Amino acid sequence: MDLNPAQYDAVNTLSGPLLVLAGAGTGKTRVVTYRIAELIRSGIKPERILAVTFTNKAADEMQERSAKLLGKRTKSKPEMSTFHSLCVRILRRHIKQLGYPANFAIYDRGDQESVARSVLREIKVGESTLRPGDLLYLISRWKSASVRPEEAAAIAQTDREHLASMAYRRYQNALKTVGAVDFDDLLLCTEDLLAQFPKVRQAEAERFDHLLVDEYQDTNGSQYRIVKALAGRHRNLCVVGDDDQSIYGWRGAEVAHILSFKKDWPEAKVVRLEVNYRSTREVVEWANRLIAFNKMRHGKVLRATFSGEPPRILQLEDEVKEAKTVVAEIQGRVAHHKRQWKDIAILCRTNEQPRAFETELRRAQIPYVLMGGMSFYDRKEVRDILAYLKLLSHPTDEVSLLRIINVPARGIGQSTVKKLMEEAVSQGKPMWEVLPMADKVAGLNGPAIEAVERFRAMIGRFHKRLENEKPLEIVKALIRDVSYRDEITRQYPEPADQEERWASVEEVVNAVAAYQQRDDEPTLGGFLREVALTGNDEKDDKESKLQKNAVALMTLHAAKGLEFPEVYMVGMEEGTLPHHRSIADPGADVDEERRLCYVGVTRAQRRLTLTLALNRRKWGKARPTIPSRFLYELTGKADNPNYHAAVQGKARPKARR
């Protein structure tokens, strides 16, 4: 076996609880598959081994690698599955105990929305107050935290949360009435079965003699309790993970589970995998310095096996220069350094940052794939604002008109729109030309006519302003006058969701500002033409495109589990990374932001570049930034006075190379 001493120890510890702390790039999957193979070689029947992970891809990979190691040694196989697949099998056997039929249905998103809509009608809550999608978001968040309907009302803080807690109970009852569960229920119902029915817990625990759990740092409360219930009899539990890569707290993962493993299993052996085979010594040194600032962690220090060039920090004037510089460098790396497009990744903290890079990559005709999110120009808020701008530029653009005629809601309902469309068809005119005649359209009442007239007049006023004003001022005024921020607040109950959606709107404003700055004669039509060239997303399968040959553009969360020869981590500023929510909220977790930065750094195999914009546009206006505290921590300059300024959010320090 080609294993280092720590890997060998983990593979050959075959009984009792075992915690394998697998640092980034230390061969985690290799250890898991070798350990499964060794268990079978030692005489454990394959069907008595259960390995659980978070994705089908990871489960399939473990199965495939283990089979190769064993060859034709055995016909039976270990059971390898995701948490949710495991729960489905348990529920098929026992869910009758909870009052569901054995052939229960699993509702998809469309089914869930139908139930949510029906429930909201029952309690007489209109979509203007709480949308079905927002109700499902809140219910899913509660379920991820193992909060049942009877508990939700007690922890609800806002009016919307109280309404949602009322709907939550009815939603669950509606599902149960038709013998259905949703995706989150798979975990919750399994947890309930194992907790409430000792015979069920015993039967399921006795099915296996060994349990392995991958990515243990990502388990939520339900998953944690399911693992404890299944392993409590034999105590042959091996969990593999890295607390330094716990970055999913926002979706219910609790790093405390891996940190307290020895408390839960006092006799557990701990093996640390610290030899990093992925990255250069220089990258690993930066990563070690950074993560050492987190105090609540298992102590470990990564060691690299080879050297390379030192990581770099680039300071650019603004986000436009940042994008241009990174894209130009990528062109040079491919042209002169024998790199392929797929060797390079651009990693961002927020969903808004890729916009500038998408623009420059398209302008340079560089193939890229956006991983872990939709294209900036596909987002609802962006499409709404662009529809307004298209209508100002071309009032006869019927698609844009229909999209925003009642967004935000202004009293022009579907019935009114239908009548206006029928009138336009009968007259053979564009719908825009029918709006001034709304008072003559059959079936429209006074309030509807007035609403149509107010909308038409507002668009008309802005259309006239095109002659004398620059695009930026028009766009800012339009967003303000239609009260789009209020619409976001009304539609989305979660502050974080509101913030993210408003950030997309701001980014449209920033895009207009950037266009206006580089064009000698900027017009709204010119901006829209530029968007058409940069925002016309290709509909290729993105995964396959990445495999063929394309630059990877993604968020740091999406980069988890991946690696690239060259990595650009962009936007290394206070408020971006760490995100301003983690700085402003005393209860927020800066440690998780640091872990997120650590994940980004450790994606780089050979070359790492970190960039920051010294100025970044906010609402179209350039504002000075503060270099991220993580830059000082990474480079060993945390004793620099500028570091303390960054941490405390004081005056802008001078950035250092």
Tell me the C-alpha distance between 401 and 417, whole Å: 10
Q: Which amino acid is at 285?
A: E
- Burial tier of 45 (Cβ tally within 10 Å: 0-12, 13-18, 19+): middle
For the question of whether the overall pTM of this predicted structure is more than 0.85, the answer is: no
Query: What tens digit of pLDDT does each residue of 565-583 get?
Result: 999 999 999 999 999 888 8
Tell me the C-alpha distance between 386 and 532, whole Å: 10
What are the residues whose beta carbons fall under 8 Å from the beta carbon of 397, sequence distance 6 or more?
390, 391
Query: What tens digit of pLDDT does each residue of 432-464 get?
Result: 888 998 888 888 888 989 999 999 999 999 988
Choice among 172, 219, 223, 245 that is catalytic: 245
- Residue 372 has a CB neighbour count (10 Å cut-off) of 17
Choice among 278, 349, 595, 603 that is catalytic: 603
Query: What tens digit of pLDDT does each residue of 25-58 get?
Result: 999 888 999 999 899 989 999 899 999 988 777 7
Whether the Cβ atoms of residue 11 and residue 38 lie closer than 8 Å to each other: yes
Cis upstream peptide for 311 (omega within 30°) = no
pLDDT at 586 over 70: no
pLDDT at 332 over 90: yes
Question: Where is pLDDT greater, at 65 or 48?
Answer: 48
280 assigned to active site: no
The pLDDT-based confidence of 190 (bands split at 50, 70, 90) is very high
223 assigned to active site: no
Query: What tens digit of pLDDT does each residue of 547-564 get?
Result: 778 999 999 998 988 999
Query: Residue range 417-429: average pLDDT?
Result: 85
Question: Where is pLDDT greater, at 619 or 280?
Answer: 280
Tell me the C-alpha distance between 627 and 315, whole Å: 9
Query: What tens digit of pLDDT does each residue of 75-121 get?
Result: 778 888 889 889 988 998 999 999 998 878 888 777 788 889 889 98
pLDDT at 179 over 90: no
| Mean pLDDT rounded to a whole number for the chain | 87
Whether the Cβ atoms of residue 444 and residue 438 lie closer than 8 Å to each other: yes
Tokens linked to 415: 């019935």
Give ∠ CA 452-455-459 in degrees, rounded to 5: 140
Percent with pLDDT over 90 in the chain: 48
Phi, psi values for residue 276, rounded to 5°: -90, 120
So what's the pLDDT on residue 327?
A: 97
So what's the pLDDT on residue 655?
A: 42
So what's the pLDDT on residue 372?
A: 66
Choice among 29, 82, 97, 517 that is catalytic: 29
The pLDDT-based confidence of 537 (bands split at 50, 70, 90) is very low
Query: Residue range 304-321: average pLDDT?
Result: 95
215 assigned to active site: yes
Choice among 7, 26, 28, 33 that is catalytic: 28
So what's the pLDDT on residue 107?
A: 81
Number of residues in the chain: 657
Query: Residue range 523-533: average pLDDT?
Result: 77
The pLDDT-based confidence of 325 (bands split at 50, 70, 90) is very high
Give one DSSP letter per residue of 364-413, joined into a string: TT--EEEESS--GGGSHHHHHHHHHHHHHH-TT-HHHHHHHTTSS--S--
Percent with pLDDT over 70 in the chain: 94
So what's the pLDDT on residue 443?
A: 83
Mean pLDDT check: name the lowest of 306-320, 458-472, 635-649: 635-649
Choice among 134, 191, 214, 352 that is catalytic: 214
So what's the pLDDT on residue 161?
A: 87
pLDDT at 72 over 70: no
Q: Which amino acid is at 42?
A: S
Phi, psi values for residue 52, rounded to 5°: -120, 135
So what's the pLDDT on residue 275?
A: 95
Whether the Cβ atoms of residue 158 and residue 495 lie closer than 8 Å to each other: no
Query: Residue range 337-355: average pLDDT?
Result: 92
Q: Which amino acid is at 94?
A: H
So what's the pLDDT on residue 102?
A: 82
29 assigned to active site: yes
Question: Where is pLDDT greater, at 539 or 511?
Answer: 511
Query: What tens digit of pLDDT does each residue of 377-390 get?
Result: 778 888 899 889 98
Question: Where is pLDDT greater, at 374 or 48?
Answer: 48
Query: Residue range 352-371: average pLDDT?
Result: 90
Tell me the C-alpha distance between 603 and 565, whole Å: 8
48 assigned to active site: no
Choice among 79, 191, 204, 215 that is catalytic: 215
403 assigned to active site: no
pLDDT at 544 over 60: no
Q: Which amino acid is at 546?
A: L
So what's the pLDDT on residue 541?
A: 43
Whether the Cβ atoms of residue 239 and residue 18 lie closer than 8 Å to each other: yes
Question: Where is pLDDT greater, at 654 or 81?
Answer: 81
- Tell me which range, 133-137, 268-272, 461-465, is most confidently predicted by mean pLDDT: 268-272
Tell me the C-alpha distance between 44 and 37, whole Å: 10
